[in-house]
Amino acid sequence: MSTYVRHSQLRAAHRVISAQCRAGILPWRSLHQTAIRSNAVVNEKGPNENDSHFINLAVKDNIAAEGFTTTCASNILTGNKIPFDATIVRQLRELNSTVVGKSGMDEFGMGTHSTTSAFENIHNVCGLEKYSAGGSSGGSAVAVKKGEADLALGTDTGGSVRMPAAYTGIVGFKPSYGMLSRWGVVPYANSLDTVGLLARTVDPIGKVIVGDGLHLKHDPHDPTSLPLQVRERCVAERSGYKSWDPSQNTKIQGLTFGIPIEYNIEELDSRISQGWLTAAQKIEELGGRVVSVSLPSTKNALSAYYVIAPAEAASNLSKYDGVRYGKRDSEHGSDTYEGILYGKTRETGFGSEVKRRILLGSYTLSSEAMDNYFIQAQKVRRLVKRDFDRVFKLSNPLEDQQPFDLSDMEDTVQLENKLGPAQADFLLCPTAPTTPPLLEDVMKQTPLDSYMNDVFTVPASLAGLPAISIPMDIPVDPAKEEEKLLSFGGLQLIGQYWDDARLLSTASILSPHVFPRISHH
């Protein structure tokens, strides 16, 4: 490819972009139950501290870990103990991990800043205590950032692993839907929930997913876990799964990175935008190609998500009545509220954000609203998935390949040839539209303002695609103290379904170039 063509693509991309504390692993809930006691139940030998793969593991408080309470940061589950490990916790313990504590979160995973917990708000660390740590897996991100954990488990429904990673300057990975087992994870929205991993660098995540073979582990307890035969077929169509060695297996040279033109939104912070552009330039310097791509359904993705997720949440949370499940209200003479049994239990047990989403979800599932909201949202979800399948070079192993309808394409996207626009190996975009906001500003936000933070992370969740957030440098004005504090943003890479190994390897190679401060040790 000529230098002119490569740089004209970058100029097109340029136009697209330009137009401690009680914050980490929660002492109030888990650390008084020692990790030794917890692991002794499962592994009598305990971890071998001389082993280079010894991992201190933090577990989000909606994932079961034997010996620890699992409260989902909700009053209705206060003191709740699940007497077994979630499959993912058991698998990591078998890989020589020790659970050091349960980490804080938004109540039932519903939030963007880890501020909806019934017990306390999570905040950022390392000089950023006044700022949001992101949500809903904020406690897991902070535990990693503070060095209390080498690896942390979170759950990602619409960005709940990637957003905290972006706000704390670490790595957050959401695998392909169905790769990691959800058995033992308290559900929020079953068709969207994905167990994710957080670490300081990509390497620990790549080692467990690819090196230790978690990508091949089918769980018969989880109906959303891909069967082994399907996993093997998907792996056969992909590269990078034989071993975890990014420096040998991966080069940026020859890869194509797509910049979605629809992601250049009005709310995008100028410093995040500049960091995005600089990352694209770094990729070109490393021999990669940067092209503009179009995802026309993106503009409706966030709306569709906030119809589908609350609808599934309303269904999942209906069991919490204090009779069959959950802590019953005992402070009043009766738990009936306006004649409704268990009404008082749910009123006092759930926080305001959870109630809001239950109401929203219940309405969209009602007979009068189902067709206009829930069914339409599912149609949008299919369109979002179709858009992704069209822009990736690799086909989706679970779907039939579809040609790109040129009438759907934005005029600003250049045609590669008579068949349509350029296709990409990965998509490149910001994780969050801004740097971490001040917590006092977060508290003043309307729910709609808060939901807008998920605009870049939700589309990959709707499509079930793997996505990773890595830290990136952004410009800093030395005269502004806040900018010197917030000198990083989150850069998101999105891959085709089950291209997780290549995505992780590429992120590992790219990380030190877009964020030179990152340490690989």
User: Catalytic positions, please?
Assistant: 60, 136, 160
**What Å distances lie between residue 37 and 6, 32, 66, 139, 148, CA to CA?**
58, 10, 9, 22, 18
Smallest CA-to-CA distance from 182 within 152, 231, 140, 222 is with: 222
Cα–Cα dist 274/426, whole Å: 20
SS3 of 121-186: CCCCCCCCCCECCCCCCHHHHHHHHCCCCCEEEEEECCCCCHHHHHHHCCEEEECCCCCCCCCCEC
CB 280 within 8 A of CB 290: yes
SS3 268: coil
- Is the bond leading into 136 cis (omega within 30 degrees of zero)? yes
Q: How many secondary structure helices (H) and strands (E) does the chain include? A: 18, 12
CB 173 within 8 A of CB 480: no
Q: Which residues pair with 256 in a beta bridge?
A: 289
Smallest CA-to-CA distance from 28 within 57, 65, 61, 50 is with: 61
CB 359 within 8 A of CB 437: no
CB 57 within 8 A of CB 99: yes
Q: Which residues pair with 289 in a beta bridge?
A: 256
CB 404 within 8 A of CB 421: yes
SS3 of 15-82: HHHHCCCCCCECCCCCCCCCHHHHHHCCCCCCCCCCCCCCEEEEEECCECCCCCECCCCCHHHCCCEC
Cα–Cα dist 393/371, whole Å: 35
Cα–Cα dist 101/38, whole Å: 9
